[in-house]
Structure 1
Amino acid sequence: MELTDFDCVVVGGGHAGASAALAAVESGCANVLIVEKAPHNWVGGNGYFTAGAFRTVHGGLPDLLSIVRNVTPEQAQKIDIEPYSFDNFFGDIMHLGDNKPDAVLVEAVVRNSRDAVEWLARAVDVPFILSFHRQAYEVGGRQKFWGGVALSVEDGGKGLIRADMEALKKAGVNIWFETPAVRLLDECGEVTGVVVHKDGREVWLKAPSIILACGGYEASVELRMKHLGAGWERARVRGTPFNTGDGIGMAQAVGAKLVGDWLGCHSTCWDANVCADAGDRKLSNQYTKSGYPLGIMVNVDGERFVDEGEDFRNYTYAKCGRAILSQPEGFAFQVWDANMTPFLRKEEYGDGVVEKIIASSIEELADKLAEHGLRDRAKFLRTVSEYNSAVSRRRLENPSLRWDPAVKDGLSTQSSTKSLTVPKSNWAVPIDTALFLAVKVACGITFTFGGLAIDPDTAGVLSEVGQPIPGLFCTGELVGNLYYSNYPGACGLTAGTVFGRKAGLGAAKRAGK
């Protein structure tokens, strides 16, 4: 056993952990350490694998221009970004979570979101950009943003983690890689340190505060099956393979309260042909397949099973991932015709990124899909035919409607003469023009929703009786009670920053700084 003293120790080196460490230094801590289970070549946790998007309250384009780096004055004249208010942001989380999230916790994220991204831009030098490539369509010569998100990071999660690591280096924060935390030191109900394994030996790290930022349990097949249920062993891990519930177990051992949606997780449509156990460090988020609102999705029996146009992709992708997993064989096909393929993002659907199934007729496409697992060719053809008929009848009754991917345009499959059992509520256009394209998709799991109870003001971990556990803080994907059932895209990095800053400030106060 070896004893080492620090002002603060952060467990987990992703974006949330980096935010906590930097905030601790900024608040006066002189000796801050991050311990990271992963080796250096897996630096960044799940943050590395994200698109780098941040959901935040803002006042529209003029408000965001002050922190982004990719907009010239000339470009700004052709950009439409609606303000995104506190009520918008708060309402999106609560609505998608069926009003089950802790409203006070949600309020803390939303109210501090704009200040958090400002801090990242100024203090951490995060290279923010407007997300033209993911959150805007060009309509009538103007870039129209949609879905409540406009802000991203240059080079996505990779760019974010580079900025974090550079800021940590400048701040003098060391990171010990390949150093898993195994248990918390607890003296009379107060956390006084953490035990880690380093270089084959046990090391006791003493500190007034420990900040847990080591993610959920999505990379553990055993815990997924235990909490999420049967079938989740088939999910593809989108990010780091090192998030296996360690922080939850350590905190529970010192009396932490577990809260939140233990049946829920952040999932998405994911390439079915990639590794199931970990994300890819090169293509990372490019394996996301989010173009389903532009077409349809069918299962192996040739049947549609979700409303692809229920809402903007930001608000539906998490539950669509789960829906794919629940289908026979746990995969599905996304299908488009030639009219929609130009609108698919090349970073997700480009040559060399995904296996494309291309055909000159819908019948030929059915034959090719059969080679990739489609079990009922005839049903698939009937599904497409019925879909096209429903789309046409809706248009006949509503000739003034026009397709517009930047708004919920009302082009659906429902009319007075024909309505599908599984509707498509917006962006429904016929699939009738060659060439036809399909890709095979599965469920990719990003992080789990169940986690630790924290004080919304301090990010301090709460005990089973609701009292703060002195010396223990939490941020990132370990925080429970923030999301239920579904998830508005781009909240995770924002929440990790907000609670990371609170945890870092709390740690500095305990260190007497």
Structure 2
Amino acid sequence: MQVHSSNNRPQQADVVVVGGGNAGFSAAHAAAERGRSVVVLEKGDEDTAGGNSYYTAGATRISHDGLADLRPFIAPDDRHSQTEVPPYSPEEYAADLAKVTNGANASDLTEVLVHESKEAVKWLSGLGVKYRLMYERQAYQRPGGGYLFWGGLHVGNVGGGEGLIADHTRVARELGVDVRYGHGATGLVVEDGRVVGVEFATETGGVDWIRAESVVLAAGGFEANPELRKQYLGDGWENAKVRGTPYNDGAMIRAALDIGAVPGGDWSSCHSVQWDAFTAKNESNRELTNRLTRGGYPLGIIVNTEGRRFLDEGADFRNYTYAKYGKEILRQPGSIAYQIFDAEQRSFLRSEEYDMPGISVAEADTLDGLARKIGIDAAALGATVQAFNKSIDLSIAWDPTVKDGRLADVGPPKSNWAAPLQTGPYYAFAVTCGITFTFGGLKADTHGRVLNSAGECIGGLYVCGEMLGGLFSENYPGGTGLAAGMVFGRRAGNCA
């Protein structure tokens, strides 16, 4: 096939990476460090680039031996001397993955992730990607002073997802990576059974292509495609709000399947969260990004529009439940629910999520007044709260830094952090389902080499990031996506 060019830029590279998010950049950096010529094809322009990574809080789950082990690659902070960061072993990491996915996580991918996550962060830190302890998300200040981190998730990017992508972009330029914005990949070029290039749409509406020895797919799942969501996730999912990039439409997954790749992972489930229901622009919002998440629910209760509770808000730390509870909201009448807090609980909510501009919130001095403001039957909400308050074992101290076992013995139960709602004013935050990414993707080995139906590697084709299926099913431990993106992106880049 004749390689041609419509833009006077070289149309050949050793490695072409499709997608300029965390995983794609990790692959690009690794390949460039090996002396390979690398082109990144990014569908977004410079103002809309970065994939889902841009919209994250930057939380990255890694195994480590405690604060002393983390200090060499995190930003200094005066609070470190008053901070306890419990060690998080690879075995704990693997157990958390198995717990939240009910054992559906691929064991080979898991083994690599839990043992290489810290080294991947250290590698990126050495290149210039900046990390810190996530005090505002993962620690509470103890009554006697000091901070205790919880939930196995401790490290995040300086500047969140926006800072992550800015750092990755700068590193790519320093390494000589050619990042081409506004290049939406549309297909794969195959010669003699081997992938040798990528087709992409041109600015004039035509199609061009670039030849490569290796192609790394890092273009995300299909969460921004309402038709595919309905087809694979089920009825109602077409109504979910897209938290991140609008570009993850599944086109490159389909392109890989069309040349013989096989699906991997759980195509029937996804990462979905409680998301601000009524903010005017609550999809793909690059200004507010992750601040539209409502993650404080373990401290209060959640009711539907009938005034009923329908899940265990305190089943586990937020990190282990938040990615599956968006689905539960979607199932409620109108796909709407309300997180309810009293004045005491409200003081513990993270400012970045609960004090953002234009937030969907109602406030009233009484529960009856709150019910009227949000259009819920006051008697129904009052009965729910009364039964909840009466069922709490007040002999157990309330402590949000540990799983305190303070139970509300009601249906459904609240297993931890149950506190009576009894002090006005009362607050109701309206939430719906926000979809983050789909768990189904392509099947690959632990180096990201895409497999066909015979279990053989398709020559020249690699996958990483949210396109790599197999790690997640039904649920997800917070911060694992960015960690997996860098681990398997790095691996793909080291092979490509």
Q: Is the 8 A contact 2:74 2:131 kept in 1?
A: yes
Q: Among 68, 82, 87, which residue is 2:86 paired with?
A: 82
Cα shift at 1:246: 1.3
- Tell me the residue number matched to 1:63: 69
Superposition pairs of residues 124-139 of structure 1, within 5 angstroms: 125-139=128-142
Normalising by structure 2, what TM-score? 0.96
Superposition pairs of residues 42-191 of structure 1, within 5 angstroms: 42-72=48-78, 75-123=79-127, 125-139=128-142, 140-191=144-195
Separation in 2, partners of 1:105, 1:128: 24
- Tell me the residue number matched to 1:510: none
Normalising by structure 1, what TM-score? 0.93
Q: Among 1, 4, 12, which residue is 1:2 paired with?
A: 4
SS of residue matched to 2:246: coil
* 1:335-372 superposed Cα distances (whole Å, 9 cap, x missing partner): 000111111011101152513210001111111111xx
Superposition pairs of residues 389-400 of structure 1, within 5 angstroms: 389-391=390-392, 394-395=393-394, 399=395
- Tell me the residue number matched to 1:40: 46
Matched, 1:330 2:332: no
Separation in 2, partners of 1:85, 1:185: 42
* 1:474-507 superposed Cα distances (whole Å, 9 cap, x missing partner): 0100010110111000000000001111111111
- Tell me the residue number matched to 2:441: 451
- Tell me the residue number matched to 1:496: 485
Q: Is the 8 A contact 2:16 2:40 kept in 1?
A: yes
Separation in 1, partners of 2:33, 2:280: 40
Separation in 1, partners of 2:75, 2:215: 35
* 1:41-75 superposed Cα distances (whole Å, 9 cap, x missing partner): 11111000000010000001111111111323xx3
* 1:251-276 superposed Cα distances (whole Å, 9 cap, x missing partner): 10110010211111011110001367
Q: Is the 8 A contact 2:263 2:469 kept in 1?
A: yes
CA-based RMSD of the aligned residues comes to 1.2
How many residue pairs match? The answer is: 487
Q: Tell me, which stretches of 5 or more residues in structure 1 are unaligned?
A: 415-419, 508-513
Superposition pairs of residues 53-452 of structure 1, within 5 angstroms: 53-72=59-78, 75-123=79-127, 125-139=128-142, 140-200=144-204, 201-274=206-279, 278-350=283-355, 352-370=357-375, 374=376, 376-391=377-392, 394-395=393-394, 399=395, 401-414=396-409, 420-452=410-442
Separation in 2, partners of 1:474, 1:451: 9
Q: Is the 8 A contact 2:59 2:156 kept in 1?
A: yes
- Tell me the residue number matched to 2:30: 23
Identity of aligned residues (%): 44
Residue identity opposite 2:168 in structure 1: D
* 1:84-104 superposed Cα distances (whole Å, 9 cap, x missing partner): 001110111111111111111
- Tell me the residue number matched to 1:470: 459
Residue identity opposite 2:41 in structure 1: V
Separation in 2, partners of 1:182, 1:328: 38
Separation in 2, partners of 1:99, 1:471: 31
Separation in 2, partners of 1:211, 1:441: 36
Deviates more, 1:1-10 or 1:159-168: 1-10
Q: Is the 8 A contact 1:12 1:36 kept in 2?
A: yes
Q: Is the 8 A contact 2:279 2:358 kept in 1?
A: no
SS of residue matched to 1:488: coil
Separation in 2, partners of 1:278, 1:169: 30
Q: Is the 8 A contact 2:279 2:359 kept in 1?
A: no
Over 3 Å counting, the alpha-carbon distance change for 1:295 and 1:104 in structure 2 is same
Over 3 Å counting, the alpha-carbon distance change for 1:222 and 1:276 in structure 2 is farther
Cα shift at 1:381: 1.3
SS of residue matched to 1:301: coil
- Tell me the residue number matched to 2:8: none
* 1:446-492 superposed Cα distances (whole Å, 9 cap, x missing partner): 00000101111x21111121111110000100010110111000000
Separation in 2, partners of 1:202, 1:362: 59
Deviates more, 1:361-370 or 1:206-215: 361-370
Cα shift at 1:76: 2.5
Over 3 Å counting, the alpha-carbon distance change for 1:467 and 1:191 in structure 2 is same
SS of residue matched to 1:167: helix
Separation in 1, partners of 2:50, 2:100: 28
Separation in 1, partners of 2:175, 2:356: 41
Residue identity opposite 1:490 in structure 2: G
Q: Is the 8 A contact 1:409 1:427 kept in 2?
A: yes
Over 3 Å off, 4+ runs: 274-278
Separation in 2, partners of 1:32, 1:187: 20
Q: Is the 8 A contact 2:277 2:431 kept in 1?
A: yes
Separation in 2, partners of 1:353, 1:142: 33
SS of residue matched to 1:354: coil
Cα shift at 1:247: 1.6
